[in-house]
Amino acid sequence: MDVEIIELGPDRLPDVVDLCRRALDLPEDAAEAPAVVATLAERAAADRPVLRLGAVRDGTLVGVLLGSLSATAPERGHVDLVAVAPTERRRGVGTALLTGAEARLAALGASELLLAGNPPHYAWPGIDVRYTPAVCAASRLGFRQDRTAWNMTAALTEGSPALRPTEAAERRLAERGVTVRRAGPADLPALSAFAHAVFGGTWDGELAGSVGRPDAGTHLAERDGEILGFAAYGSARPSWFGPMGTAPAAEGSGIGGVLLRRCLRDQAAAGIAAAQIGWVGPVPFYSGAAGARIERVFFLYRKAIKGA
């Protein structure tokens, strides 16, 4: 084929954003292309090796792939985004990008390649099933589907359950000594310690990406200086909610619903009409607290690869 696979420098990122606006078929993805590219191509580079590949014909970018190594398991390579210009599809561009990424990530030490989100900097849990050509390409290239994930959507329009007032619930919590407030940068160490102690995992990056950043934020609940729960939004994309967590001792207190709706209210005030609750676990909670519905389903894939 007559395209060249090259590594892209930071100067080509505006071209990557422009391509993604045209190539991401779902309007909600195309609209947030600048945030997606910034998260995957720039912010992620702070804590893990990042791969930026372009497919170029006659100097024009016709396809792009963003990939990375896992910060916690460097034997795992991730494909974080693949986008091909609409006029270039079914011409082998995506396959060439994936083949190039496999070779380069293997050379960096990866023994497995995942088509799955690489937290804390990710834009999707996996391949949205509505991107059917990508699902077909994954199967054709030897990936096996090993998990399914889903997002829930909470409408943020007038009258939505997601925007129910929280003031009365906050007063009841205050009567029990619980304060609910917006978190600031000074709260990050305590928030990270709480998240590690209660939930483990790697939420540090998502919390750091939410507290004090434009189009993002975090709310917390505390009693006598002890954190009881938190909820964050906007770390990867302005319309995405999460992560959130409540201490086991505080479950059933109403703290989770208050924190969730405070975040959703912020997103609505920023002009977002629907929030995506990413990589959802407790579906009944989000359905009851915010009227959220499962709308996006993702297939996650993996395959073994050979080193250079």
**Domain co-membership, 107 together with 164:** no
**Domain co-membership, 242 together with 119:** no
**Domain co-membership, 96 together with 170:** no
- Output the pLDDT for position 204: 85
Is 151 domain-assigned? no
**Domain co-membership, 43 together with 142:** yes
Domain termination site, one of 122, 146, 170: 146
Q: How many structural domains are present in the chain? A: 2
> For 184, phi and psi rounded to 5 degrees?
-120, 175
pLDDT, tens digit, for every residue of 111-164? 999 999 999 999 999 999 999 889 999 999 999 999 999 999 999 999 999 999
pLDDT at residue 1 is higher than 70: no
**Domain co-membership, 162 together with 139:** no
Is 15 domain-assigned? yes
What rounded mean pLDDT belongs to the chain?
94
Is 280 domain-assigned? no
**Domain co-membership, 18 together with 110:** yes
On whether the CB atoms of residues 242 and 267 are closer than 8 A, the answer is: no
CA distance 127 to 146: 12
On whether the CB atoms of residues 50 and 44 are closer than 8 A, the answer is: yes
Query: In this prediction, what percent of the chain has a pLDDT beyond 90?
Result: 86
Is 30 domain-assigned? yes
Is 301 domain-assigned? no
Q: Indicate the SS3 state at residue 234.
A: coil
85-111 average pLDDT score:
94
**Domain co-membership, 97 together with 34:** yes
Query: Which residue type, as a one-letter code, is found at position 161?
Result: P
On whether the CB atoms of residues 222 and 178 are closer than 8 A, the answer is: yes
User: By residue range, what is the domain housing residue 184?
Assistant: 157-272
CA distance 190 to 194: 6
**Domain co-membership, 104 together with 130:** yes
Buried b (16+ CB within 10 A) or exposed e, 65-83: bbbbbbbeeeebbbbbbbb
Is 296 domain-assigned? no
pLDDT at residue 308 is higher than 80: no
208-212 average pLDDT score:
92
**Domain co-membership, 96 together with 214:** no
Query: 224 — alpha (psi -120 to 50), left (phi > 0) or beta?
Result: left
Is 131 domain-assigned? yes
- Output the pLDDT for position 307: 64
Tell me the pTM. 0.90
**Domain co-membership, 61 together with 175:** no
CA distances, 25 to each of 30, 54, 80, 133 (Å): 7, 19, 16, 11
On whether the CB atoms of residues 136 and 301 are closer than 8 A, the answer is: no
Domain termination site, one of 111, 146, 181: 146
**Domain co-membership, 13 together with 88:** yes
Domain termination site, one of 90, 114, 146: 146
Q: What is the CATH number of the domain that holds 48?
A: 3.40.630.30
**Domain co-membership, 244 together with 132:** no
Which of 170, 160, 169 is CA-nearest to residue 267?
160
pLDDT at residue 220 is higher than 70: yes
Is 283 domain-assigned? no
